């Protein structure tokens, strides 16, 4: 229990720290922003002055941070100049789309990596394992960008998959089931791209972790007891290798989030990635900050989930925090 | 057994006088509470030049902490270490640096006390290079340093053609000899041997012990010999101090300690010694 | 030790690849910004050995492209005249390694132009742009990795050696940086810097940004090494002779970190090349007309290009050997580290 509290405290600390960091980034270039806005003919000088006063840009830094944090905690994340609307609702929709992609990809990637890794660890050093190693190596050396573009090229040339976006144009007219199918059809390429970029590293690490466990005395003893192979592999070996794998899980979430940025942009998936890019190119300050914050929330949340999993999976953690 | 009685030293001034050393550690434990560890709890003694003081005790009695404090690698929380009229504890580093070469520590594990990436020559030269960096007057030339390195090797009984080799190619006994050679580089007066023989094979132990004795006889080297082996202590020492729980619980000449152990600790240490080594069976009743 | 040989093998392979990129002027037939407005979106030229009359030629040759009748972007070969590929011929001027004026190119053709990978919208040779683009992307990766490792070394060593609150503070900071998804952090950093800058300034900006994002993981690794090295007896022995912290770090502690740093370099460089590609691809990195691997692929963002001009994707495949080289290097370095640890353990260290 104490472990969980510690992890919650840690997560809060991370979020607070990140919010401070991102805020500092924005504060480091305030002049540039407003100056650029002043140069922009579309924005009236009164608006600039009003914004300056409204966002308290003449107040000292700590005050500004506290104000900003306060408003964020109330769900107010500023105003987007490009979209001419408050930032929070904009982010929420995009965040949902990104989550959809990232969570699906994570689950799929692990669902493939675990059996593959275990299978490979069983046959360590033999031909099937070596072939798989080469396969993962081949996948690893293709740059993520090239992979995404390649899939896109394939989609366009074959016509089997849509070349981008999240929904077809006639989405409104479709029934619920068809909408779902349409969504899935649009998801295939970006999810594939994400899974393929994450898979090699996951498979390698699962393989390494399981291989280490397979040669321990306790597992050999289990073999001696006549426990069936399938149970052995999954309930014994995998459980023993759970510790590093759960940490890997936390790490994979971060990697997939980062990867999703690029892939969303390439495949025109309406998630946080393209929004962030647009905001950067149009100097839409609060959208950028909000986007960073959201992605960090997901990452920290994912890692916290991993901590929870660890707590559940590893009895040593439960007892250690109880012992004094 | 040492033949010389320890009384010969009493007419001279002590080389080193330790007064009420206390060392407190704040140890962060797993549960994140601050636990205090009292490694040394008021240790006092004197050592006379040319003699060997053995400090005997079990693990955790504070022996290694004492060694580190004597060699100025750790600072005691309270207490003084008097050497040639100066309190080493109160000295500031520039002044202390001049005294350091005189009090050298020989470590237990010869493998970890020598940098495996360096050659024997580099290891031997290091003290001289460091000294050269500090004081203008001790300005050794390359030539002088190499010569001294060779003579050091000779003195500890090592062949000069190992100079280019890394210490990993030497045996345990050879490495310990090298460690001693390094300690001798700047002509120390006191060597602190922190379980220096414990990691060696029996026959090698005897060889190194003899080397140490020879150095003492020829140069008047003073030793603080820290060990858990009471038999070895009796063989080498002029005086034995028994440590337990951070304090010296019993001190005296080897014959006295072996024949008439006063404290329980001493008796337990004695009981650990194989019968062959003892000169007479200990008396159980007092 | 076979790990050592494998390392040497991969290093050699990478050296060759990088050599080609460094001497891009020699290996590329044309200047990367040279436009050939008459031949936009030319597909890769085919190299023939047998001509239309069935004669075998000694030297490989190409045909000039010619616009097909009635089309504005479909080309066909003008089989009237074969143009042999020449080697070590004199061609456009360039500066080898940036300062030696040269005219000799590895290969080329006379009277027409040879486009191994086709051309882009401005008729620029994609093969030349690939080689010159590699200079920018690979250098950005190398310098960025260098910056990160330098920062990681400094911060990790400080945290490990001094401990106490320095350590606590620095490691908390590291955790914060690790909590941010790194590509988002990269983009955010880039966002808060001026967007429209000269290519040179953009190049250094990209390196600075990429370099400052990833210091946390190397710093942690360095810290671990420093922590364990600090307590070794030979370090205490040196202290026993009065060595200063600076001396200890330089001569005893930091040398232990070099193998970790080298392995990290092999892992980070390709990651950073990828980061540069991502930035440039999206217009946040080095801008046109300077070629980089990123902006070379950026035309593929357009649907029309994907449909009709697929060869624009080919440079992406040519990048793979470089990444393969770095992967092999990293693997062999990790194996070498393992082997060294086993050696040291066996000999009773």
Q: How many residues appear in chain C? A: 349
Chain C contact for B64 (CB, 8 A cutoff)? no
- Within 10 angstroms of residue B49's Cβ, the number of other Cβ atoms is 15
Helices (H), chain B: 63-70, 93-99, 120-134, 142-155, 172-184, 202-219, 230-236, 254-259, 264-271
Partner chains of B (3+ C-beta pairs under 8 Å): A, C
Taking CB atoms and an 8 Å cutoff, what residues of chain B touch A323?
31
Give pLDDT tens digits for A285-301: 778 878 888 888 888 88
| Nearest residue on chain A to C271, alpha-carbon basis | A143
For residues C157 and C253, the answer to whether their CB atoms sit within 8 Å is yes
Mean pLDDT of C97-101: 78
- Report CB contact under 8 Å: B105, C234: no
Of the candidates A196, A193, A195, the one whose C-alpha atom is nearest the C-alpha of residue A263 is: A193
Dihedral in degrees, nearest 10, Cα atoms C199, C22, C112, C47:
-130
Kindly report, residue by residue over C244-270, the tens digit of the pLDDT: 889 999 999 999 899 889 999 999 999
Residue A190 has pLDDT above 80, yes or no: yes
Residues of B in contact with C255 (CB under 8 A): 117
Mean pLDDT of C114-134: 89
Number of B:C CB contacts under 8 A? Answer: 58
Provide the chain A residues 237-276 that lie in CB contact (below 8 A) with chain C.
254, 257-259, 261-262, 265-266, 276
Of A313-322, B173-182, B202-211, C214-223, which range is least confident?
Answer: A313-322
Cis omega (within 30 of 0) on the bond before A277?
no
Report which of C252, C229, C222, C249 is spatially closest to residue C156, judged by C-alpha positions.
C222
Angle at A276 between CA A274 and CA A281, to 5 degrees: 95
Whether C118 and C314 have beta carbons less than 8 Å apart is answered as yes
Tell me if B181 sits within 8 A of B124, measured CB to CB.
Answer: yes
CB A313 within 8 A of CB A301: no
Is pLDDT above 70 for C344? no
Task: Check residue B282 and give its pLDDT.
Answer: 54
Residue C164 has pLDDT above 70, yes or no: yes
pLDDT surpassing 50 at residue B6:
no
* C104 close contact with B: CB closer than 8 A: no
**Cβ separation of A277 and C187 shorter than 8 Å?**
yes
* Residue B267 in contact with partner chain C when CB distance is under 8 A: no
Residue A6 pLDDT grade (very low, low, confident, very high; cuts 50, 70, 90): confident
List chain A residues with CB under 8 Å of B31. Answer: 323-324
Closest CA to A2 of A242, A281, A307: A307
- Mean pLDDT, residues C49-63: 80
Question: Max CA-CA distance within chain C?
Answer: 88
The backbone torsions φ and ψ at residue A26, rounded to the nearest 5 degrees and listed phi first, read -65, -40
CA A146 – CA A151 distance, rounded (Å): 9
Those of residues 124-163 in B touching chain C at CB distance below 8 A are: 126-127, 130-131, 133-134
Q: CA-to-CA distance for B233 and B242, rounded, in angstroms?
A: 10
Q: Which of B215, B222, B196 is nearest to B6 (CA)?
A: B222
> What pLDDT score does B69 carry?
92
CA C39 to chain centre: 29
Higher pLDDT, C89 or C317: C317
Chain A positions touching C281 (Cβ under 8 A) are: 145
| Interface membership of B171 toward C (CB under 8 Å) | no
User: Alpha-carbon distance A173 to A303, whole Å?
Assistant: 40
Task: Count chain A–chain C contacts defined by CB atoms under 8 A.
Answer: 127
User: Hey, are the CB atoms on B130 and C241 less than 8 Å from each other?
Assistant: yes
Nearest CA distance, A228 vs chain C (angstrom): 34
Average pLDDT in the C58-68 region? 81
Yes or no, beta carbons of A145 and C283 under 8 Å apart: no
Which H or E run includes C91? strand C75-96
Question: How would residue B285 be classed by pLDDT, with cut points 50, 70 and 90?
Answer: very low
Task: Report residue C1's pLDDT band, with 50, 70 and 90 as the boundaries.
Answer: low
Q: Across the strands, what pairs with B242?
A: B56, B250
Distance from CA of A298 to the nearest CA of B (A): 30
B72 touches C: beta carbon within 8 Å: yes
Identify the closest residue of chain B to C252 by CA–CA distance.
B115
- C347, closest residue in chain B (CA to CA): B168
pLDDT of res. B35 = 66
Enumerate the β-bridge partners of residue C125. C119
Q: Does B75 contact C at CB distance below 8 Å?
A: no
Q: Which spans in chain A are helix H?
A: 2-28, 30-39, 45-54, 61-73, 87-122, 127-140, 144-158, 176-214, 217-224, 229-231, 238-240, 242-266, 272-281, 285-313, 315-322
Q: Which of B174, B181, B226, B231 lies closest to B201, judged by CA? A: B174
The 3-state DSSP class for residue B78 equals strand
Nearest CA in chain B to C253: B115
Higher pLDDT, A228 or B181: B181
Residue A153 forms contact with C (CB below 8 Å)? yes
The pTM for the full model equals 0.83
Nearest Cα of chain A lies from the Cα of C115 at a distance, in angstroms, of 22
The residue behind tokens 């205490």 is C236
Phi, psi of C287 (to 5 degrees): -85, 170
Under the banding of pLDDT at 50, 70 and 90, the label for residue A29 is low
Which of residues C346 and B78 earns the better pLDDT score?
B78
Q: What is the mean pLDDT of residues C320-326?
A: 93
Report the half-sphere exposure of B55 (CA within 13 A, side-chain side).
Answer: 29
SS3 content of chain C, % helix, strand, coil (to 5): 60, 15, 25
For residue B26, give the H/E element and its range: strand B16-28
Residue of C322, C302, C274, C270 whose CA lies nearest to A152: C302
- Cβ distance C130 to C67 under 8 Å? no
Sheet containing B34-47, strands listed edge to edge, beginning at the edge strand earlier in sequence: B34-47, B16-28, B78-83, B86-87
Q: How far apart are CA A151 and CA A269, in angstroms?
A: 14
Supply the pLDDT for residue C345.
Answer: 56
* Record: contact A163-C172, CB cut-off 8 A: no
Q: What is the pLDDT of residue B284?
A: 47
- Beta carbons within 10 angstroms of residue A322's beta carbon: 10
Question: CA-CA distance, C222 to C258, in Å (whole number)?
Answer: 9
Q: Please indicate if any CB of chain B lies within 8 Å of the CB of C243.
A: yes
Whether C239 and chain B come into contact, CB under 8 Å, resolves to yes
**Is the CB of residue C141 less than 8 Å from the CB of residue C270?**
yes
User: CA B234 to CA B63: how far, in whole Å?
Assistant: 17
Q: Which of A273, A240, A41 minimizes the C-alpha distance to A121?
A: A240
Label the pairing between strands B86-87 and B78-83: antiparallel
| Integer Cα distance of B84 and B81 in angstroms | 10
Identify the pLDDT of residue C319. 92
Report CA-CA distances (Å) from B68 to A250, B23, C233. Answer: 43, 11, 11
What residues have CB less than 8 Å from A98, skipping those under 6 apart?
A257, A260, A264, A271, A272, A273, A295, A298
Task: Please give the angle made by the CA atoms of A259, A265 and A266, to the nearest 5 degrees.
Answer: 90
B115 and C234: CB-CB below 8 Å? yes
User: What stretch of H or E contains C95?
Assistant: strand C75-96
Site of tokens 């998936």: A269
Contacts of C240 in chain B (CB under 8 A): 71-73, 100, 104-105
Confirm if A160 and A234 have CB atoms less than 8 A apart.
Answer: no
Average pLDDT, chain C: 86
Residue A188 to chain B, least CA–CA distance (Å): 48
The conformation of residue C250, written as its DSSP 8-state character, comes to: I
**Phi, psi of B11, rounded to the nearest 5 degrees:** -75, -20
A-B Cβ pairs (cutoff 8 Å, strict): 4
**What's the CA gap between B128 and B138, in Å, rounded?**
9
- Statement: residue A243 has pLDDT above 50: yes
Distance of alpha carbon B143 from alpha carbon A22, whole angstroms = 60
Share of chain A above pLDDT 70, in %: 85
Torsion of Cα atoms, B272 then B276 then B279 then B285, to 10°: 40
Q: What does the angle CA A91 – CA A94 – CA A100 come to, to the nearest 5 degrees?
A: 135
Give the tens place of pLDDT for each residue, B57-96. Answer: 888 788 889 999 999 998 899 999 999 888 998 888 888 8
Q: What is the mean pLDDT of chain A?
A: 80
Q: How far, CA to CA in Å, does C40 sit from each of A20, C284, C304?
A: 49, 25, 14
Q: What integer pLDDT is reported at residue A170 of this predicted model?
A: 63
Question: What DSSP line would sit under A199-265, residue for residue?
Answer: HHHHHHHHHHHHHHHHTSHHHHHHHHTT--HHHIIIIIIHHHTHHHHHHHHHHHHHHHHHHHHHHHH
Beta-carbon separation of C303 and A163 below 8 A: yes
Q: Which of A233, A259, A255, A248 is nearest to A309 (CA)?
A: A248
Q: What is the mean pLDDT of chain B?
A: 83
Question: How distant is the Cα of C238 from the closest Cα of chain B, in angstroms?
Answer: 7
Cα angle C153-C156-C159, degrees, rounded to a multiple of 5: 145
pLDDT, one tens digit per residue, over B91-143 is 888 888 889 999 999 999 988 899 998 999 999 999 988 888 776 666 778 88
What is the token pair recorded at C173? Answer: 């900071």
Bridge-partner residues for C64, per DSSP?
C78
pLDDT tier for residue C134 given thresholds of 50, 70 and 90: very high
What is the structure's pLDDT at B27? 63
More confident residue, A74 or C289: C289
Most confident of A224-228, C70-74, C243-247: C243-247
Least CA distance to B29: which residue of chain A?
A324
Q: Would the pLDDT of A73 be above 80?
A: no
Q: pLDDT digits over A56-70, tens only?
A: 556 677 777 787 777
Give the tens place of pLDDT for each residue, A211-220. Answer: 888 878 877 7
Mutation target vs C (from B73, B88, B95, B115; most C CBs, 10 A cutoff): B115
């Amino acid at each position: 229990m104490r472990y969980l509290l510690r992890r919650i405290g840690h997560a809060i600390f991370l979020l607070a720290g990140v919010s401070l960091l991102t805020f500092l980034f924005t504060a480091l270039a305030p002049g540039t922003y407003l100056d650029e806005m002043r140069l922009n003919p579309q924005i009236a000088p009164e608006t600039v002055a009003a914004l300056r006063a409204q966002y308290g840009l003449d107040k000292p830094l700590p005050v500004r941070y506290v104000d900003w944090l306060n408003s964020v905690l109330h769900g107010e994340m500023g105003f987007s100049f490009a979209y001419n609307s408050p930032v929070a609702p904009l982010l929420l929709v995009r965040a949902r789309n990104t989550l959809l992609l990232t969570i699906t990809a994570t689950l799929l990637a692990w669902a493939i990596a675990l059996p593959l890794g275990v299978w490979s660890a069983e046959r360590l050093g033999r031909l099937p394992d070596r072939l798989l190693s080469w396969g993962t190596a081949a996948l690893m050396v293709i740059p993520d960008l090239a992979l995404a573009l390649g899939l896109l090229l394939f989609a366009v040339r074959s016509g089997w998959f849509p070349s981008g976006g999240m929904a077809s144009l006639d989405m409104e007219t479709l029934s619920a089931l068809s909408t779902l199918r349409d969504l899935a059809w649009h998801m295939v390429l970006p999810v594939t791209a994400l899974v393929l970029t994450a898979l090699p590293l996951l498979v390698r690490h699962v393989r390494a972790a399981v291989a280490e466990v397979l040669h321990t005395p306790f597992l050999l003893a289990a073999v001696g007891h006549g426990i069936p192979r399938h149970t052995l592999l999954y309930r014994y070996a995998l459980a023993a290798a759970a510790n590093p794998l759960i940490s890997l899980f936390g790490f994979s979430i971060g990697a997939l989030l980062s990867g999703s940025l690029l892939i969303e942009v390439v495949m025109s998936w309406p998630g946080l990635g393209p929004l962030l890019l647009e905001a950067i190119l149009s100097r839409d300050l609060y959208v950028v900050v909000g986007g960073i914050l959201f992605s960090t929330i997901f990452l920290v949340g994912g890692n916290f989930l991993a901590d929870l999993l660890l707590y559940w999976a590893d009895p040593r953690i439960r007892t250690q925090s109880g012992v004094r | 057994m040492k033949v010389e009685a320890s009384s010969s030293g009493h007419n001279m001034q002590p080389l080193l006088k330790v007064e009420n050393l206390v060392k407190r550690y704040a140890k962060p434990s797993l549960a994140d509470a601050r636990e205090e560890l009292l490694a040394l709890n008021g240790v006092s003694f004197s050592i006379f030049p040319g003699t060997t003081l053995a400090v005997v005790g079990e693990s955790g009695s504070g022996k290694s902490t004492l060694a580190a404090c004597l060699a100025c690698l750790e600072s005691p929380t309270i207490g003084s270490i008097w050497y040639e009229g100066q309190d080493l504890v109160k000295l500031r580093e520039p002044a202390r640096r001049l005294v350091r070469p005189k009090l050298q520590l020989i470590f237990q594990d010869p493998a970890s006390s020598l940098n495996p990436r360096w050659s024997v020559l580099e290891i031997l030269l290091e003290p001289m290079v460091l000294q050269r960096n500090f004081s203008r007057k001790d300005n050794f030339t390359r030539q002088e340093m190499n010569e001294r390195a060779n003579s050091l090797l000779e003195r500890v009984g090592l062949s000069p053609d190992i100079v280019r080799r890394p210490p990993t190619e030497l045996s345990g006994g050879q490495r310990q000899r090298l460690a001693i050679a390094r300690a001798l580089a700047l002509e120390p007066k006191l060597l602190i041997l922190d379980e220096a023989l414990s990691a060696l094979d029996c026959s090698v132990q005897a060889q190194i012990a003899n080397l140490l004795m020879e150095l003492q006889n020829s140069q008047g080297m003073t030793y603080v010999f820290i060990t858990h082996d009471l038999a070895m202590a009796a063989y080498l020492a002029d005086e034995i101090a028994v440590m337990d729980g951070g304090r010296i619980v019993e001190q005296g000449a080897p014959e006295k300690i072996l024949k008439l152990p006063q404290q329980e600790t001493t008796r337990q240490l004695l009981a650990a010694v194989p019968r062959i080594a003892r000169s007479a069976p200990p008396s159980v009743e007092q | 030790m076979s790990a050592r040989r494998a390392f040497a093998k991969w290093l050699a392979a990478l050296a060759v690849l990088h050599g080609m990129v460094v001497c891009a002027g020699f290996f590329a037939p044309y200047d990367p910004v040279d436009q050939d407005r008459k031949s936009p979106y030319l597909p890769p030229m085919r190299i023939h050995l047998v001509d239309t009359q069935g004669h075998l030629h000694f030297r490989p040759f190409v045909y000039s492209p010619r616009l097909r009748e009635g089309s504005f972007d479909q080309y066909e070969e003008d089989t009237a005249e074969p143009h042999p590929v020449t080697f070590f011929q004199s061609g456009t001027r360039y500066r080898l390694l940036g300062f030696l004026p040269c005219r000799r190119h590895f290969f080329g053709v006379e009277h027409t132009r040879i486009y191994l990978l086709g051309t882009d919208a401005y008729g620029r040779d994609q093969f030349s742009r690939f080689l010159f683009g590699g200079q920018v992307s690979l250098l950005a990766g190398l310098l960025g990795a260098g910056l990160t490792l330098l920062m990681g070394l400094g911060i990790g060593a400080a945290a490990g050696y001094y401990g106490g609150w320095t350590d606590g503070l620095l490691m908390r900071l590291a955790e914060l940086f690790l909590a941010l998804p790194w590509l988002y952090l990269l983009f955010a950093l880039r966002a808060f810097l001026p967007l429209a800058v000269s290519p040179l300034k953009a190049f250094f900006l990209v390196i600075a940004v990429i370099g400052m994002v990833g210091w946390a993981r190397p710093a942690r690794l360095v810290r671990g090494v420093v922590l364990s090295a600090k307590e070794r007896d030979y370090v205490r022995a040196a202290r026993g002779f009065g060595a200063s912290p600076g001396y200890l770090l330089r001569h005893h502690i930091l040398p232990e970190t070099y193998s970790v740093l080298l392995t990290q370099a092999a892992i980070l460089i390709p990651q950073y090349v990828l980061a540069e590609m991502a930035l440039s691809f999206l217009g946040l990195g080095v801008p046109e007309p300077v070629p980089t691997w990123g902006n070379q692929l950026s035309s593929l963002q357009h649907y029309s290009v994907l449909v009709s001009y697929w060869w624009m994707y080919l440079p992406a495949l040519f990048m793979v050997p470089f990444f393969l080289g770095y992967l092999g290097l990293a693997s062999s370095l990790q194996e070498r580290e393992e082997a060294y640890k086993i050696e040291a353990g066996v000999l009773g260290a």
